């Protein structure tokens, strides 16, 4: 006969549930911040956060502490939390750092990547190129963005360095709020998508041709493309930040 679960087992189950709930709240709040649901500098009220993300004060404080560590939230001297501010100078700095790091990573990946890595790049590139054929205009931006990230993740995965990939993920998060400005205000027309497909195809050809120097240069230029567009948007729409 099997008896009732011991107290330790029940405690472990409750702990696992709390961690799962906290992780879910973290993912949702982070996504909301990155997508601009909360404005830069906006105060994050604990009561509203508890209701929206369905967690208690303790878990939500842990979530906020994680986001402070990721520089997406700022602590206000015992007075609560605010969404981290944004600025034109920060945008340029983050994009430059991200582009140079990505250029380094793709160079290493070209030197170290195996056949499975090559296959993942070809597959993700093909999936990305089919966005315009599969989705309505309303869905296109979100789907294109997800597949575009998957394509770049496939390329970066061949570099062989966990530390570089961690640094890359951090800079991606720092750039994401600025990328959202670009995505939301840039119409992905059929012509724009055609040009992007050609650019990605050239990048894939260079990578598969194992030209590390050219691939690094192309990646640097590719990732800096949104900077002047975002700059014009920020300068034109003064209240965006």
With beta carbons less than 8 A apart as the criterion, state whether 113 and 122 touch: no
With beta carbons less than 8 A apart as the criterion, state whether 176 and 34 touch: yes
With beta carbons less than 8 A apart as the criterion, state whether 29 and 59 touch: no
Other beta carbons within 10 angstroms of residue 194's beta carbon come to 12
- Tokens in use for 240? 């965006």
The pLDDT of residue 192: 74
Question: Based on the number of CB atoms within 10 Å of its own CB, is 72 exposed (0-12), middle (13-18) or buried (19 or more)?
Answer: buried
- Tokens in use for 197? 């497909």
Domain limits, the chain: 7-83, 88-240
Widest distance between CA atoms in the chain? 73
Total-model pTM: 0.86
Q: Residue 38: left if φ>0, alpha if ψ -120 to 50, beta else—which one? A: beta
Own/partner contacts of 197-205, CB < 8 Å, gap of 24 or more, are 197/128, 197/129, 200/125, 200/128, 200/129, 200/151, 201/125, 201/129, 204/121, 204/122, 204/125
Would you say the CATH fold of 88-240 matches that of 7-83? no
The pLDDT of residue 137: 66
Question: Based on the number of CB atoms within 10 Å of its own CB, is 9 exposed (0-12), middle (13-18) or buried (19 or more)?
Answer: exposed
With beta carbons less than 8 A apart as the criterion, state whether 103 and 216 touch: yes
With beta carbons less than 8 A apart as the criterion, state whether 80 and 44 touch: yes
Q: Which residues of the chain have pLDDT under 50?
A: 1, 7-17
The pLDDT of residue 187: 59
The pLDDT of residue 11: 41
The pLDDT of residue 83: 98
Fold of 88-240: 1.20.120
With beta carbons less than 8 A apart as the criterion, state whether 189 and 201 touch: no
CATH of domain 7-83: 1.10.10.10
The span from the first CA to the last CA of the chain, in angstroms, equals 64
C-alpha 181/C-alpha 227 separation (Å) is 11
The pLDDT of residue 196: 85
C-alpha 235/C-alpha 15 separation (Å) is 48
Other beta carbons within 10 angstroms of residue 26's beta carbon come to 20
C-alpha 190/C-alpha 187 separation (Å) is 9
């Amino acid at each position: 006969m099997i008896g009732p679960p011991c107290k330790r087992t029940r405690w472990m189950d409750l702990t696992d549930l709390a961690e799962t709930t906290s992780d879910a709240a973290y993912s949702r709040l982070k996504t909301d911040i990155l997508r601009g649901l909360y404005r830069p500098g906006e105060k994050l009220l604990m009561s509203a956060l508890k209701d929206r993300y369905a967690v208690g004060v303790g878990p939500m404080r842990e979530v906020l502490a994680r986001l402070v560590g990721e520089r997406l939230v700022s602590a206000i001297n015992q007075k609560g939390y605010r969404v981290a501010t944004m600025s034109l100078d920060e945008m340029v700095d983050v994009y430059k750092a991200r582009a140079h790091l990505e250029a380094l990573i793709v160079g290493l990946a070209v030197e170290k990547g195996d056949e499975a890595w090559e296959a993942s790049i070809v597959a993700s590139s093909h999936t990305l190129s089919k966005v315009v054929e599969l989705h309505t205009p309303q869905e296109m931006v979100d789907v294109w963005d997800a597949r575009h990230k998957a394509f770049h993740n496939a390329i970066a995965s061949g570099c062989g360095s966990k530390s570089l990939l961690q640094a890359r993920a951090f800079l991606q998060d720092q750039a994401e709020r600025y990328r959202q400005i670009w995505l939301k205000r840039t119409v992905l027309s059929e012509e724009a998508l055609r040009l992007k497909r050609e650019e990605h195809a050239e990048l894939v050809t260079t990578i598969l041709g194992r030209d590390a120097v050219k691939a690094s240069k192309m990646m640097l230029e590719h990732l800096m493309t949104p900077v002047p567009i975002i700059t014009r948007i920020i300068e034109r729409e003064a209240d965006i930040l």
